[in-house]
Chains A and B, each alone.
Chain A
Amino acid sequence: MAVSTDHPPGTIAEGMRAVAPLAVAVGLFGIPFGVLARDAVGVLPALVFSATTFAGSAQMASVSILADGGALAAAIVAALLLNTRYLPIGISVARSLPRRLTARLLAAQLSVDESWAISHRGAGRYDGRVLVGAGLVLYAAWVVGTAIGAAGGSVLGDPEDLGLDAAFPALFLALLVGQVRDRRGAVVALLGSALAVVLIPFVPAGVPIIAASAACLLGLRR
């Protein structure tokens, strides 16, 4: 796993390999999303949703709201709030993405939580090739998982019975351990998690993550 600060430039293949175990979990979660989305929005919109938005938690949240008879506006707002973290994430990877505009914009779409964290090279620097490799595998897994769910329903049963939902926080913990290099990083992580815990009961999903990301402003202190 890519965690140390001194790294030669990575490759797309390296990103693909690094993210493989996680892509399995992402693909398996695409299946129940596909099942739910088929019934709530239909097969084609479900597929287009995964192929364009490519953000599991936001898609699941918005489709669940519609499936429960919630308002369209509420579903849209919930998804966009969950994805607002991609604004600062996009800023952080901007420098490492390809220079050509088309390639840059395509690579930006592949900057999701897992590919972003796996491609971190220390001190706020990211490896664009590793990010693209990891993002491509995650994208394929998510879209194929959605298609399987939308076409045939769940063959594997509930992924929660397999404990797959616990694999995601575990992954983020492993990535966090790799990114906390000093006392300031640890303080920011603790502050971020505290802000999220305090806010979860009071604000819509997504907002605690945005609020917690403000903890990185401690970096302004010399």
Chain B
Amino acid sequence: MSDAWVLVIAVGAGTIALKSAGPLLLGGREVPARARGVLALLGPAVLAALIVTQAFAGDREIVVDARAAGLGAAAVALLLRAPLLVVLVVAAAVAAGVRAVGI
């Protein structure tokens, strides 16, 4: 089998297993109250990490570039209570603008 198919099958099977494990093993059961307290905080923890990695991660280094400018603009838009679509467009436009002028 070619490397391409080994990659596709291994990553595909692994990812499907990772996504399925919780729903398969837990079923529709209610989780205990303490576990629920932990899961309620999973959103803030993972979202915060996704923001940092998507805005500032380079190849094993912290990079501050046009993405950071876009994120900053998005923060301002959120403070002004802009709708989600506006927040996304502002972030993209500012990042594109910063890249266009070559900062």
B92 to chain A, nearest CB (A): 4
A87 touching B22, Cβ below 8 Å: yes
A192 touching B18, Cβ below 8 Å: no
For the complex, give the distance between the alpha carbons of A192 and B41 in Å: 10
Given contacts A45-B8, A83-B18, contact A166 B45 (CB under 8 A): no
For the complex, give the distance between the alpha carbons of A186 and B43 in Å: 11
A173 touching B37, Cβ below 8 Å: no
B23 touching A169, Cβ below 8 Å: no
Partner of B44, one of A45, A161, A192: A192
Per the 8 Å Cβ criterion, residues 40-82 of A in contact with B are 40-42, 45, 48-49, 52-55, 58-59, 62-63, 66, 72, 75-76, 79-80
A165 touching B95, Cβ below 8 Å: yes
- Number of A positions contacting B (CB below 8 A): 99
- Chain B's interface size range is 35 or more
B20 touching A108, Cβ below 8 Å: yes
Binds B, one of A7-15, A89-97, A136-144, A148-156: A89-97
B21 to chain A, nearest CB (A): 6
Chain A residue, CB-CB nearest to B24: A105
Chain A residue, CB-CB nearest to B97: A163
Q: Mark B1-20, 1 if CB is under 8 A from A, else 0.
A: 00111111011101110111
For the complex, give the distance between the alpha carbons of A31 and B34 in Å: 43
Q: Mark A77-118, 1 if CB is under 8 A from B, else 0.
A: 001100111111111111101010000110111010100010
- Apart from A166-B91, A173-B74, what are 11 other A-B pairs with CB-CB below 8 Å? A88-B39, A90-B21, A90-B23, A123-B40, A165-B95, A171-B84, A188-B44, A192-B46, A200-B61, A200-B62, A213-B45
14 chain-A/chain-B pairs, Cβ below 8 angstroms: A21-B88, A41-B7, A53-B12, A83-B18, A87-B18, A89-B22, A166-B66, A166-B94, A167-B70, A173-B71, A173-B78, A192-B48, A213-B42, A215-B41
Report A's interface with B, CB cutoff 8 A. 1, 21-22, 25, 40-42, 45, 48-49, 52-55, 58-59, 62-63, 66, 72, 75-76, 79-80, 83-95, 97, 99, 104-105, 107-109, 111, 113, 117, 120, 123-124, 160-177, 179-180, 184-186, 188-193, 195-197, 200-202, 204-205, 208-209, 211-220
